[in-house]
Amino acid sequence: MLLFLRSKDLVPAARERLTNLGVDFQLVSEEPIFEIRAHLSIYSPPVLATKLADLGRVETGKSRTPLLDAMPSGHEVVVEVRGRTEPIRFRNQPRQAVWIAGPCSLDESNNLEENAARLAKLGVQVLRGGAVKPRTSPHEFQGVGRAGYSQLARAAHAHGMACISETLSEDDVPEAAEFLDIIQVGARNMQNFALLRKLGRCAKPVMLKRGPGATLLEWASAAEYILNEGNRRIILCERGVRGLETELRYTLDLAGAAFMQHRYSLPMVIDPSHATGVKQILEACTAGALAMGFAGVMLETHPRPAEARSDALQALTPEEFSAIAGRHLHS
Amino acid sequence: MLLFLRSKDLVPAARERLTNLGVDFQLVSEEPIFEIRAHLSIYSPPVLATKLADLGRVETGKSRTPLLDAMPSGHEVVVEVRGRTEPIRFRNQPRQAVWIAGPCSLDESNNLEENAARLAKLGVQVLRGGAVKPRTSPHEFQGVGRAGYSQLARAAHAHGMACISETLSEDDVPEAAEFLDIIQVGARNMQNFALLRKLGRCAKPVMLKRGPGATLLEWASAAEYILNEGNRRIILCERGVRGLETELRYTLDLAGAAFMQHRYSLPMVIDPSHATGVKQILEACTAGALAMGFAGVMLETHPRPAEARSDALQALTPEEFSAIAGRHLHS
Amino acid sequence: MLLFLRSKDLVPAARERLTNLGVDFQLVSEEPIFEIRAHLSIYSPPVLATKLADLGRVETGKSRTPLLDAMPSGHEVVVEVRGRTEPIRFRNQPRQAVWIAGPCSLDESNNLEENAARLAKLGVQVLRGGAVKPRTSPHEFQGVGRAGYSQLARAAHAHGMACISETLSEDDVPEAAEFLDIIQVGARNMQNFALLRKLGRCAKPVMLKRGPGATLLEWASAAEYILNEGNRRIILCERGVRGLETELRYTLDLAGAAFMQHRYSLPMVIDPSHATGVKQILEACTAGALAMGFAGVMLETHPRPAEARSDALQALTPEEFSAIAGRHLHS
Amino acid sequence: MLLFLRSKDLVPAARERLTNLGVDFQLVSEEPIFEIRAHLSIYSPPVLATKLADLGRVETGKSRTPLLDAMPSGHEVVVEVRGRTEPIRFRNQPRQAVWIAGPCSLDESNNLEENAARLAKLGVQVLRGGAVKPRTSPHEFQGVGRAGYSQLARAAHAHGMACISETLSEDDVPEAAEFLDIIQVGARNMQNFALLRKLGRCAKPVMLKRGPGATLLEWASAAEYILNEGNRRIILCERGVRGLETELRYTLDLAGAAFMQHRYSLPMVIDPSHATGVKQILEACTAGALAMGFAGVMLETHPRPAEARSDALQALTPEEFSAIAGRHLHS
């Protein structure tokens, strides 16, 4: 992005304005022209241009995410749920964040009905549970299959909760759209563009998890694929990126999520369970996420973690989850 | 993995054996028992057990990649090509590495026929070219579509070359399998398990690129998905991982590829074009890859890079590619 | 770490116990023996051994950080300040977190006295300011030199605040120890072992920043160097690690800091200014850090950021900082 | 960097020139002006300006590494060795690369004299060995101390080899400069600016290892610190960066080293031993490094690795090293 100052006398004022906006720049020419780092700044190109317009002409270049840039701030994703009077609202800086909880995978070790009853009573608004599971190895449990979608929906709706589950391929979408209230795109499929396009043509809210190797711009661009097909009901979910540390499963990028929340208007949910894999710090991460103003949090819970067929170590027992919810989920 | 020594007297011998094998261990008990770091060592569990069997009993635990572990060393992927007498053979430590070259995407800026003629003459065995393109943004050129598969095949076969192109979704597979000699799974789809399973049930060779956020174990496990469906004709391709450096597009992990080549028997191809994005160092990376004994190299070439609709900066001009091929491709 | 169960009947109980502790394990032998991932778990080896003692014999192996492991939980670093009645207390889960603020570097663009007065009035307990500056390039401003230590101390003490500044080499330590209340080891010197040893033999509190390429174990081991020389007054400071994202300066690893806070008893301070470099998200990161129970936060402030000789973009103006302090610093 | 074209008619020509140079650009204005990504391109600002001068006026902005940019290409670091007729020459694209070998640390398990004799006979030109050791934990072996410098020198010089060892602090420099032929700055001290400055004022060749969390620009800037004090005898050494993969100690960034070799004229040495920690792939990495035209390679060897007090797993036995040297070190 280039700022062609109206006059040389404005150099000090421009320097001060750009610094105070927190925008990286260099004065590259004696014209004078300021060159502004334009990759993905904290402001969209049109917003930044407006903030600088009085100083001279601004050449913004093309935005990488024009559809996201055009969305109004305070965008809200409203989820209507069968059998629930009030819809569930996902938006950043919420009066009350949305809590999503449930087991990693739907399997015989879960009593979904009992689970749902307990979580609903604690104030959880969305029941999660994997039906088709993306597992690193083909020799690991692959989930109960799409039949799980309707079971999950039944359990959730019976208690006035919405339900969310993941799709792994375009073929999963029709059945998912029939039963689920929110369709999840998992981290491994963040750039499965065929799937994103299909979900963009579907009427359901989509929760797009960040890929563990994805930059913020790649993540925003994946959302842009869904928007480009017409679906504006997009929720982002930060679940950790690959980093240098190996004690935790991934590096939970709360600051990156805050950047996204400031730059774009899509609601952001934080998933500390998958990000860290360490149950002892889930409460701290949840408290942090709530204080940072994110739209929601997602936590894994299991009645008996030792029997879970996936991600047992990070699953909170009912008692552990109740304690956290009691301290942080004020319904 | 645990090694229960037959006798305490064997501690020094075991220590020496394990060190010389380059295996990380601790003597954790006075029994005596050695605990061996068993995540994904340079030896498969059965091989390591054999090498230690005279010292005592070995408990290997379950292998994460049992099908890969069971493949014989020196595995070769043979690609038969219409109109070519000799098949193309991918194997590590080759007498002669396979060269794959061609444009990033098939588009109107390419004269495929002319391109193919020139590359074939230089000794290139495989023609590459993207028909359906996975692009970060939906506003970028998305490729000419599956119709490109047959065009690519025609151009390649007319000059005795094999052809390779990418599939983005299960729906691409039938047409890809009809026309292509090798089907590529791109980095973004490395863990698109639905696609992997479908390719595992197909009779064609599959080149599986490493995801930019994927560990070596995740990459091997993705290959295990294809193997698990019965397709053993798998070629791996290292194309860079996300790292801390931003001058190059990705960090080309040649040492990681060497680890995989030593640990598993799948042929490995190196793609320095996508990994680095810097044409000035492609010759050095190619020379390095050849010296390291990889099965092949893949390079992007374009008749007029400035007109290419994707990845122009890393595309070698015909003159640049000829110079590199002249120095390193001895046919 | 190995757990030799007293009896085979205890296998299910052990499995449940280990899962509920969130400890990664495999049953590797029919003896039965459980192998527990022992690199740096959320529990120290002696603590974990105690929690499993009723199930059988535990072989923990050697701890990597025995001195840290031996420190009692709730360790507090008390900083006595000349001219201040109450000492400043750094401890995790504080009633009130310590706020550290001030300019990146002491230079002629700062009016230290005015700055100190304003920060003290807002409730900031510690004044920061770099005297000797570690700069990526030798052509950048290198700081005013050690003379800055006494200037900083004068300004801080006049307003009942403590002061903190960085040492770059052993030669800086005597003068730093004379004037400063807390001595900072910067990220680039986290493994400058000669400096760590010298600070370990000094009577002053030390704030040890995490190196941008350092694992949690390396960070803890650096603290162990200071402890090993006898200095127990160690405060850790998370300031971001190198990650795959480039929009922010570094990746702020709040979850990693929470892990350290749970595993060790050293107080933890969070520095979102250096970690992110993006002033628009500093309030969110500060709010998150406070909610997570860290001992303190550190923020960069400058009266006129455009005139700062280093890190101008992330420096909060007095008005911006007052607004954040007003909402989050309850004195 | 901005290119102000002389005329609009030159837009296509400029586009082609910039693309063929492999330089990232956007046409940002209708003036017409091209904005060129100027962070650290494969060309230095003055070189790039020269290559574009016929198209119009170029505003390069300030170089981050002006001293390195001003060094002539083909820079050679010549090491004169007592008792050796020919000096040892480090330069990229060498007729014959320099081999550096020896144990990780000098300790009682090594017979230095015997070691030196064997390595010299194989054609190794430089003997390495750590006297003062930077170890992650204070409870690990810290080296024999500076007395090791003279022992190492005696053993090396007796066989016509040069010697290299590491300094950890400014206090090590006088004794190191007295005895060593090349002084090493270890990865952990790459940004220990006090040490860099002291070495910059010393007459000895310095080998600067890349920090595991350092970008290429930070590495070059660290070399700039040494240059800035007047010492031009700088050798760079790539030894791996922190990455997402954990099977290998670090990620060996051969492509990054090739970028540095192309961009700057400092000789580059590759150290696959520390980078990978996996002895089975050291030969492949060495062969790759030699083929890529680097100035030298550095490998760890030990007469009896099981007795080594540091880095035993990656140390090559005399037999293993002889085999590699026999195939790749042609003296």
Q: Do A275 and C255 touch (CB under 8 A)?
A: yes
- Six-digit token string for D60: 């390069």
Give every residue of chain C whose pLDDT is below 70, as ranges.
37-40, 331
Alpha-carbon distance of D315 to B28, in angstroms, equals 23
pLDDT, position C40:
63
CB B238 within 8 A of CB B254: yes
pLDDT, position B29:
72
CB C184 within 8 A of CB C191: no
Cβ-Cβ contacts under 8 Å, D225 against chain C: 137-138
pLDDT, position D42:
85
Closest CA of chain B from D210, distance in Å? 12
Mean pLDDT of chain B: 93
CB A26 within 8 A of CB D61: yes
Q: What is the pTM of this model?
A: 0.96
SS3 D212: coil
Interface test with A, best of B192, B226, B227, B229 (most A CBs within 10 A): B192
C31-41: per-residue pLDDT in tens? 777 777 655 68
Higher pLDDT, A61 or C188: C188
Closest CA to A43 of A4, A3, A7, A10: A3
- Six-digit token string for A178: 């029939």
Cβ-Cβ contacts under 8 Å, C33 against chain B: 2, 33
**How would you classify residue B61: left for phi > 0, otherwise alpha for psi between -120 and 50, otherwise beta?**
left
Would you report the helix, strand and coil content of chain B in percent, each value rounded to 5? Answer: 40, 20, 40
- Six-digit token string for B191: 């863990």
- Of the partner residues D33, D61, D243, the one whose CB lies closest to the CB of residue A26: D61
pLDDT, position D182:
98
- Six-digit token string for C273: 């200014």
Class of residue D330 by CB neighbours under 10 A (exposed 0-12, middle 13-18, buried 19+): exposed
Which residue of chain A is at minimal alpha-carbon distance from D250? A244
Residues within 8 A of C (CB atoms), B 50-109 only: 59, 61
Closest CA of chain B from D224, distance in Å? 18
Task: Tell me the C-alpha to C-alpha distance, in Å, between residue D236 and each of B243, D216, D268.
Answer: 20, 11, 5
CB C297 within 8 A of CB C269: yes
- Of the partner residues B23, B272, B287, the one whose CB lies closest to the CB of residue D291: B287
Closest CA to C271 of C141, C135, C166, C153: C166
Residue A101 in this model has a pLDDT that exceeds 70: yes
Closest CA to C148 of C161, C125, C165, C134: C165
Alpha-carbon distance of B215 to B210, in angstroms, equals 9
CB A126 within 8 A of CB A98: yes
pLDDT, position C34:
78
Closest CA of chain A from D144, distance in Å? 31
- Six-digit token string for B202: 């197909």
Residue A40 in this model has a pLDDT that exceeds 90: no
Residue A275 in this model has a pLDDT that exceeds 90: yes
pLDDT, position C23:
84
Cβ-Cβ contacts under 8 Å, D245 against chain B: 215-216, 241, 253, 256
Using only C-alpha atoms, chain A has a radius of gyration, in whole angstroms, of 22
Q: What is the mean pLDDT of residues B60-64?
A: 83
Closest CA of chain D from B252, distance in Å? 6
Closest CA of chain C from A30, distance in Å? 19
Closest CA of chain C from D79, distance in Å? 26
Q: What is the mean pLDDT of residues B11-15?
A: 90
From first to last of its 331 residues, what are the pLDDT tens digits of chain D? 888 888 889 989 998 998 888 888 888 777 777 777 655 688 888 898 999 999 998 888 788 899 999 999 889 999 999 888 899 999 999 999 999 999 999 988 888 998 899 999 999 999 999 999 999 999 999 999 999 999 999 999 999 999 999 999 999 999 999 999 999 999 999 999 999 999 999 999 999 999 999 999 999 999 999 999 999 999 999 999 999 988 899 999 999 999 999 999 999 999 999 999 999 999 999 999 999 999 999 999 998 998 888 888 889 999 999 999 999 997 5
Q: Do A278 and C248 touch (CB under 8 A)?
A: no
Least confident of A40-54, B180-194, C224-238, C244-258: A40-54
C205-218: per-residue pLDDT in tens? 999 999 999 999 99
Q: What is the mean pLDDT of residues B235-251?
A: 93
Task: Tell me the C-alpha to C-alpha distance, in Å, between residue A243 and each of A65, A275, B104, C240.
Answer: 26, 11, 29, 11
Give yes or no for A117 touching D (CB within 8 A): no
Contact pairs from chain A to chain B, CB under 8 Å: 84
Residues within 8 A of A (CB atoms), C 241-300 only: 241-248, 251-256, 258-259, 261-262, 272, 275-276, 278-281, 284-285, 287-293
Q: Do D243 and B258 touch (CB under 8 A)?
A: no
pLDDT, position C221:
97
ipTM of this complex: 0.95
Closest CA to C49 of C63, C32, C65: C63
CB D244 within 8 A of CB A213: yes
Least confident of A302-316, B31-45, B288-302, C289-303: B31-45
Q: What is the mean pLDDT of residues B86-105?
A: 96
Q: What is the mean pLDDT of residues B317-323?
A: 95
Alpha-carbon distance of D100 to A241, in angstroms, equals 38
Touching subunits of C (3+ CB pairs, under 8 Å) are A, B, D
Cβ-Cβ contacts under 8 Å, D41 against chain B: 247
pLDDT, position B228:
97
Q: Do A284 and C306 touch (CB under 8 A)?
A: no
Class of residue B35 by CB neighbours under 10 A (exposed 0-12, middle 13-18, buried 19+): buried
pLDDT, position A83:
80
Q: Do A2 and D213 touch (CB under 8 A)?
A: no
Cβ-Cβ contacts under 8 Å, D242 against chain A: 244
Q: What is the mean pLDDT of residues B15-27?
A: 86
Tell me which H or E stretch contains A296.
Answer: strand A296-300
Residue A93 in this model has a pLDDT that exceeds 80: yes
Q: Do A244 and D242 touch (CB under 8 A)?
A: yes
Task: Verify cis geometry, omega within 30 degrees of 0, for the bond prior to D32.
Answer: yes
- Six-digit token string for B119: 């590359």
